[in-house]
Amino acid sequence: MTPEEFTFTKFANNAFYRRQNATLIDMAGVGSGQRIVDLACGNGGVTKLIVERLRGARDSVIIAIDHSSEMLRLAMEELRDARTAAVQYVQSQVEQVSEAVKESADTVFFCNAIHYVPDKEQLLTEISRALKPGGKLAFNTAFFDGAHPPDTMVFARKWMMRSVRILRREHGLSIVRSDKVESRNQLTPEEYRELLEDNGFRIVKQEIETVPVPMEGWRDISGFKDFIGGAMPGVPMDKASQALQAGCEQIFAEMKREFVDRNWLRIVAVRV
């Protein structure tokens, strides 16, 4: 595998994952004549869902933002055939969203990426600047304190232990322990509430859904570089990915499981 193959696309195409993003979009609602931001747009899966809901409304604008030029290229490809409102692609850090957006937006979607951002207060100040008064911020994440249902801990532990063993036996490699990556510094739903309220937002909807994730989902996330780097720091991507995928398949078979649950948090907040 070449490094550019460790993208998010394969995982993002899982039906259960698309459904999580679709549910968030429907919870916030989108309409014609709006200026909508898709923050950390990745490969464009969310952008495409927004476009579908706008049903060809030509007076809407979607601004798809990501810091990765590779992701923006994939997003453009994903939306090649979309007949719709204008989609603008902007390469920017999410921490500078107000500059990237220029005119203020009706809604900012921020799917599956808030856990990457170390300074969430600064981020919320920026998102607030990018929104009209009364504008909405809608985000979701499966990396929060509470994402692992207690009865899935056994799976998680066995999977990691098996993958580490495969890595050692088949490749003679070990994990290099370092500082925790940011996506592991996870907030509770209550901490998200306080953060939003302290930074000029009011939550209008909040849900946690327990999602049965099939083996393919866990295997595909093991092919995404951010996940691999978090789970097996300091190990070459191809070897780490192979060990995680083999470990996943073996533990699913041994535990005779079809799914392992994961909790997804989704929040819609309004700029007050």
Ligand X SMILES: C[S@@+](CC[C@H](N)C(=O)[O-])C[C@H]1O[C@@H](n2cnc3c(N)ncnc32)[C@H](O)[C@@H]1O
Binding site for ligand X (CB under 6 A): 8, 12, 21, 40-42, 45-46, 66-68, 71, 93-95, 111-113, 116
Give backbone dihedrals phi and psi of 103, rounded to 5 degrees, phi first. -80, 145
Which is nearest to 52 in space by CA: 43, 62, 42?
A: 62
Nearest distance, CB of residue 45 and ligand X, angstroms: 5
Nearest distance, CB of residue 124 and ligand X, angstroms: 14
Nearest distance, CB of residue 43 and ligand X, angstroms: 7
- Which uninterrupted H or E stretch holds 138? strand 131-141
For ligand X, the closer of residues 42 and 135 by Cβ is: 42
Strand order in the sheet with 86-91: 86-91, 61-66, 35-39, 105-111, 131-141, 259-271, 201-214
For ligand X, the closer of residues 17 and 201 by Cβ is: 17
For ligand X, the closer of residues 43 and 163 by Cβ is: 43
Nearest distance, CB of residue 89 and ligand X, angstroms: 12
Amino acid (1-letter code) at residue 61:
V
For ligand X, the closer of residues 66 and 106 by Cβ is: 66
Residue nearest to ligand X (CB): 42
- Which uninterrupted H or E stretch holds 112? none
- Contact of 53 with 30, CB cutoff 8 Å: yes
For ligand X, the closer of residues 8 and 251 by Cβ is: 8
> Concatenated DSSP letters for 28-71?
H---TT-EEEEET-TTSHHHHHHHHHHTT-TT-EEEEEES-HHH
Nearest distance, CB of residue 165 and ligand X, angstroms: 28
User: Residues 154-187, buried b or exposed e (16+ Cβ, 10 A)?
Assistant: ebeebbbebbbebbeeeeebebeeeeeeebeeeb
For ligand X, the closer of residues 117 and 240 by Cβ is: 117
Nearest distance, CB of residue 253 and ligand X, angstroms: 27
Structure tokens at 147: 């994402």
For ligand X, the closer of residues 19 and 67 by Cβ is: 67
Give backbone dihedrals phi and psi of 120, rounded to 5 degrees, phi first. -75, -25
Nearest distance, CB of residue 10 and ligand X, angstroms: 12
